[in-house]
Structure 1
Amino acid sequence: MSFKASLQISRPQFDIHVKIAASAGEVTAIFGPSGCGKTSLLRAVAGLDSKATGTVEMNGEIWQNHTMFRPTHQRDIGFVFQEASLLPHLNVMQNIEYASKRQAKHKKRISLEHVINLLELSPLLKQSVENLSGGEKQRVCLARAIATSPALLLLDEPLAAVDTVHKQEILHYIQSLKNDFNIPMLYVSHAINEVAQLSDRLLLMEKGQVRAEGLTADLLSQTNLPFVAQQDAAAVFDTVVRKQEAHYGLSYLTFDSGQFIVTESDLAVQQRVRVQVLARDVSITLSQPAQSSILNIFPVTIESITPQGIAKQLLRLRIGQQILLSRITSKSLEDLSLRVGSQVFAQVKAVSLLN
């Protein structure tokens, strides 16, 4: 399944001009500050803005162009909004069934039982939706959206109304949907941690325009983009579990140019794991330490040096085909005589598992 659109939307403050695409089993995050046009774009894709012009195409089927416009109910989509718009007079199961009934039988590819089990909703099926927590309501909304067997899933800041404790839980369920159903997803957010954890591709919007678009791991480490200016600037790696040392509680995660050793024993060999390394958790040494408690040390080349105020410097480091970030003091930069092209060693003090 593949989706692509090229849309123009007129707004009082600015016009929106966006080209966007997504493939089967892929999450494309639409990221940017509040008011940049993210939700307007998603509404246009869904057919909720009849004044939007351009083309929308799903699996070669035209939903919109200069001569025709399919209304929302004729577009094969599932939509999860910021607020859980559930029908209060129906219980959980009835809400899910209500959505399922709107899809033609010959287009139903996903069983309700599968959705319910995946989202762990069985204990809630007979409950009134008004008695559910925010996280539970969003799980029902996810089930309702998937129950229609959509060709495309749209998620408009689905965690905005969920408390911090349950956000990670919902992200886990969305990841499960991605893995199980192979549906392309467009995920709107202004929370970079959600984007880093979930998305394969990233579209960065600014005042209605696409400032950057590409693989999430690539864009998060681009020094000309705003992500690296944040306190939690980080590099993201997609890895595979190669082996475990159970007696130490360690797992070895390989990527294109090396491996991370992490203190996590609950991973399965060959499992795919996305990890994050914060720039502030990477230090630099000129020679490889002969004896160190740090397990993850890599030979790297300094690709760029970006001042961040007077006291800090951001280093973009290359490990083969991968990029690592390091934030060090300006004094350390000077004391070590670091330059673009310098070959040094990066000491990674912490690695976080994202999924």
Structure 2
Amino acid sequence: MTLCVSLRHRFRGFMLDAAFEAPPGVTALFGRSGSGKTTVVNAVAGLLRPDEGRITLDGTALQDSANGIWLPPHKRRIGYVFQEPRLFPHLTVRQNLLYGARLAPGAGGHEGDFDRIVGLLGIEALLPRRPGALSGGEASRVAIGRALLSRPRLLLMDEPLSALDAARKAEILPFLERLRDEAGVPILYVSHALSEVARLATTIVVLEAGRVVRAGPAADMLSDPAAAPLLGVREAGALLPARVVAHHADDLTELAVSAGRILLPRISAEPGTRLRVRIPAHDVILSRARPEGLSALNILPATVTGVKRGEGPGVIVQLRAGEDLILARITRRSAEALALEPGTDCHAIVKSVAVAPADVGTG
């Protein structure tokens, strides 16, 4: 199911002029505060009626200003999860969830949906509680469950983790991954946190000052040196598909990647589990020859495929390691000393402890 968006809307001092396609999976709208992300989501939900535009979901027009089409929100079959959970405080978790089920087409007789979604989000034990007795992460999961029980054709999530601390974010991210992989509902996900986007997104759309400045598959975008300034040079880092091979007695987990094996601090996943690992560009060191006598455990043979020079002293180097692309952020002086250019063979070195647990997800 594909969402196609083309919008123009003028606010005082701000013009939104954005067009993109969101294929099945998680499409992340990424950008700074004020770039227009929430405005786009509100237009898709029908909470904002743009001056001009056309929005279609799987070929059905939700809005087409040229032909006078505009479906009100309750006819769009779209679930919306806001920054705050917005649960009914006087109802239990079960009653909040059942309220969402009442909004589903042909409501009634969907006990199987209820049990499946409660299990998917791990909220069985929360059903008798009221929202005031829930943690932030628990309340967010209940809000997601309520939206899913309305049987939406599309799920909108507007920075659902922004109000949570790091511990609560770490708690809920695995559930969002399960939602992406198992719920079967396309998701439009708003965030300005690149680590979140890298962990969850299958497609990234970058907004800046109301316009789409870059869009594409997440793995391609995150490994493109030209996209690094848009995503944030300090946060740049590429995704590596990996598979858990073994857990060792010294609390390191061995992963297979296309260029060889890497070791990371113990990951709670069974051998054989497929992961996506974000390798921060600033934690990758380059060497022309294979180094000896280093404390770093991960040394991958690679070939330079691109060098992106910025305005300051930094350089983003793109490397192919096996079948995957890696980014390294080094100084221009180092790049010149190593004579790095497309086609140069080298080795990418990554410290095991440099990859944070939040940078390892399923997928």
TM-score by length of 1: 0.89
Following the alignment from structure 2 to structure 1, what is the Cα–Cα distance between the partners of residues 70 and 327?
Answer: 46
Following the alignment from structure 1 to structure 2, what is the Cα–Cα distance between the partners of residues 60 and 121?
Answer: 35
Task: Summarize deviations over 1:28-68 as a string: whole Å, max 9, x none.
Answer: 00000111110000000011112343222222322222331
Following the alignment from structure 2 to structure 1, what is the Cα–Cα distance between the partners of residues 144 and 18?
Answer: 26
The question of whether the paired residues in 2 share the 8 Å contact of 1:44 and 1:52 is answered with: no
Count residues in correspondence: 352
Q: 1:123 offset after TM fit, Å?
A: 2.1
Q: Which residue of 2 aligns with 1:157?
A: 159
Following the alignment from structure 1 to structure 2, what is the Cα–Cα distance between the partners of residues 321 and 73?
Answer: 46
Give the stretch that moved more between structures: 317-326 or 209-218.
317-326
Q: 1:305 offset after TM fit, Å?
A: 3.1
Q: Which residue of 1 aligns with 2:20?
A: 20
TM-score by length of 2: 0.87
Q: Which residue of 2 aligns with 1:93?
A: 94
Q: Which residue of 2 aligns with 1:234?
A: 237
Alignment of 1:195-206 (within 5 A): 195-206=197-208
Q: Which residue of 2 aligns with 1:3?
A: 3
Q: Which residue of 1 aligns with 2:54?
A: 55
2:215 to 213, 224, 228: 213
Q: Which residue of 2 aligns with 1:354?
A: 360
Following the alignment from structure 1 to structure 2, what is the Cα–Cα distance between the partners of residues 69 and 109?
Answer: 33
1:252 to 251, 255, 272: 255
Unaligned runs of at least 5 residues, structure 2? none
The question of whether the paired residues in 2 share the 8 Å contact of 1:232 and 1:278 is answered with: yes
**CA 1:19–1:110 in 2, change beyond 3 Å: closer, same or farther?**
farther
Give the stretch that moved more between structures: 121-130 or 227-236.
227-236
**CA 1:247–1:77 in 2, change beyond 3 Å: closer, same or farther?**
same
Q: Does 1:191 align with 2:196?
A: no
Q: Which residue of 2 aligns with 1:345?
A: 347
Following the alignment from structure 1 to structure 2, what is the Cα–Cα distance between the partners of residues 265 and 310?
Answer: 37
Task: Summarize deviations over 1:240-262 as a string: whole Å, max 9, x none.
Answer: 34x3365675433234x555444
Q: 1:89 offset after TM fit, Å?
A: 1.9
Amino acid at match of 2:59: G
Q: Which residue of 2 aligns with 1:80?
A: 81
**CA 1:110–1:163 in 2, change beyond 3 Å: closer, same or farther?**
farther
Amino acid at match of 1:354: V
Following the alignment from structure 2 to structure 1, what is the Cα–Cα distance between the partners of residues 100 and 312?
Answer: 56
Alignment of 1:313-352 (within 5 A): 313-350=315-352, 351-352=355-356
Q: Which residue of 1 aligns with 2:43?
A: 44
Task: Summarize deviations over 1:91-148 as a string: whole Å, max 9, x none.
Answer: 2111111111011227969611111122222222222212322222111111111111
The question of whether the paired residues in 2 share the 8 Å contact of 1:221 and 1:227 is answered with: no
Task: Summarize deviations over 1:153-181 as a string: whole Å, max 9, x none.
Answer: 00001112222210121222111111221
Amino acid at match of 2:85: A
Q: Which residue of 2 aligns with 1:176?
A: 178
Q: 1:194 offset after TM fit, Å?
A: 0.7
Following the alignment from structure 1 to structure 2, what is the Cα–Cα distance between the partners of residues 133 and 228?
Answer: 31
The question of whether the paired residues in 1 share the 8 Å contact of 2:242 and 2:255 is answered with: no
**CA 1:263–1:159 in 2, change beyond 3 Å: closer, same or farther?**
closer
Q: 1:341 offset after TM fit, Å?
A: 3.4
Unaligned runs of at least 5 residues, structure 1? none
The question of whether the paired residues in 1 share the 8 Å contact of 2:101 and 2:107 is answered with: no
RMSD over aligned Cα, in angstroms? 2.5
**CA 1:303–1:35 in 2, change beyond 3 Å: closer, same or farther?**
same
Q: Which residue of 1 aligns with 2:118?
A: 116
The question of whether the paired residues in 2 share the 8 Å contact of 1:96 and 1:140 is answered with: yes
Give the stretch that moved more between structures: 140-149 or 341-350.
341-350
Q: 1:205 offset after TM fit, Å?
A: 0.3
Amino acid at match of 2:5: A
Amino acid at match of 1:232: E
Q: 1:280 offset after TM fit, Å?
A: 2.3
